[in-house]
Structure 1
């Protein structure tokens, strides 16, 4: 299909090219012959012949005659050029039409293959759903049906969870950026951490300069941290702190970065983050975030 797209674009480019004023001389005749040669080469690329790609080539136009016998008293060189140019344009239009028909046939074939695959998956033997709690099955326990669920069955979302996520309303105000952040916050607050991660990632990438961006990056780190993914959380906390140290949630992110390092059993970096937090944000360390700061300090031994 990539080859057909390239060929189709080339054909359209040939058709769209401006046509210079033709003079009755050998240079114009040579340029027209070159154009005809390019169209024939284009036909050979679209219709490779032995490969049998969708359609047989349609070769149009009159057979080439010797230049000495072309001219007649009633036909001028300009008339001959225009006639041959019309033939070229007709060929390009047919090539474009056949390319579009070939593209449609490929899309139809792809849709049929996907439908057959879906029917095959639906007709497979019933499988026991994996435990949603993630607890391991006791040794010796045998599931009914196949021993291992297919990837399609394992990836099928829990209908109850889908319904619960859909029940969380997305705000609709005149600030779409704030709506996206608020929806991510609601997902996180409801405990739907993977969904919140996806929503907040979309928000911070789409609205990097929004006034809520510092809140979004910090909350995205928390969504990963609360989901037990400390390695994924750390880069977001660090990025938010470094993006603007005076931002509303930069101090929070630095303190959460220390907490993330503690979760990763990296006391050295945790101590560095805690020391920098206390030095850079003394008001937060003694005020709004004091209890969290003291709790993290109690988990490590710093020099």
Structure 2
């Protein structure tokens, strides 16, 4: 039985007890009491079928026998009716006792399940808090690893990383825009990809018409691609190619776009980018970028 069905059964039991509390049986005085008793029996059977929909014989009593086809004599009719009703009330009471016992069993099962869940959650929290970051995936699984990554990101870069980034000097020349690009290049070249992404994004947004912008967009795409983020890299490569196909790094971006598509297992778009590159930049395909072009072509099978 699942946690949800267990809780649902308990709610049905509560409704049934409220129903029985409002319909306490009494010795019948006339035909109206007989009708009330029949309704009570029907309601108990309905409650049983709601709580135990399978119709298991462990929970269902056989239908109470119907009244005899031939009634006894008039002098004994009253006594026979009272005896029959008392027997049926005894049967109802026995059924109610069994349902009460079942309710207690379900309550205990629910309590034990809740305690186990609480214990497991508490154990997982303690493991996550005490385990080293390097071994988290092995000790707590993917969920623990995800929590560790989130905690690391929330805590920010370490003091050592900040010091290493600050050690990279920013150029100071007569072209401040070129200095911004060059600083982004130095961050990328040192392997600080997130910092390079931030720096190069600022550069291309603030200097869209600078002669270095074609380099900046291409390098920004590479900063994402080298960081394992091909999905974020692809739009920058495509934008650099489309903005200015004669730009100094437009051909490079088209070839890197094919690499991003290969990384994303998108063979169709990778082949489109490779075909566009060979048609638009034949000199690059046979010259400076020949090795990269042929390596990419070897990774996919294009029609």
TM-score by length of 2: 0.53
Does the CA-based 8 Å contact 1:129-1:149 persist in structure 2?
no
Cα distance between partner residues in 1 of 2:152 and 2:136:
21
Q: Counterpart in 2 of 1:277?
A: 277
After superposition, the Cα gap between the structure-2 partners of 1:225 and 1:134, relative to the gap in structure 1 and judged at 3 Å, is farther
Q: Counterpart in 2 of 1:95?
A: none
| 1:205 to 2:205 alignment | yes
In structure 1, the gaps of 5 or more residues are 1-126
Q: Counterpart in 2 of 1:259?
A: 259
Cα distance between partner residues in 2 of 1:134 and 1:277:
44
Secondary structure, aligned partner of 1:160:
helix
Matches for 1:139-150 after TM superposition, within 5 Å: 139=140
Deviation at 1:157, TM superposition (A): 1.9
Does the CA-based 8 Å contact 2:234-2:260 persist in structure 1?
yes
After superposition, the Cα gap between the structure-2 partners of 1:295 and 1:157, relative to the gap in structure 1 and judged at 3 Å, is same
Query: Deviations along 1:98-125, whole A, 9 cap, x unmatched?
Result: xxxxxxxxxxxxxxxxxxxxxxxxxxxx
Q: Counterpart in 1 of 2:55?
A: none
Q: Counterpart in 2 of 1:172?
A: 172
After superposition, the Cα gap between the structure-2 partners of 1:172 and 1:266, relative to the gap in structure 1 and judged at 3 Å, is same
Select the structure of larger CA radius of gyration. 2
Greater helix proportion: 2
After superposition, the Cα gap between the structure-2 partners of 1:152 and 1:237, relative to the gap in structure 1 and judged at 3 Å, is closer
Q: Counterpart in 2 of 1:224?
A: 224
TM-score by length of 1: 0.53
| 1:289 to 2:289 alignment | yes
Number of residue pairs aligned between Structure 1 and Structure 2: 171
Does the CA-based 8 Å contact 2:136-2:148 persist in structure 1?
no
Cα distance between partner residues in 2 of 1:155 and 1:213:
33
After superposition, the Cα gap between the structure-2 partners of 1:243 and 1:226, relative to the gap in structure 1 and judged at 3 Å, is same
Secondary structure, aligned partner of 2:241:
helix
Deviation at 1:241, TM superposition (A): 0.1
Deviation at 1:155, TM superposition (A): 1.9
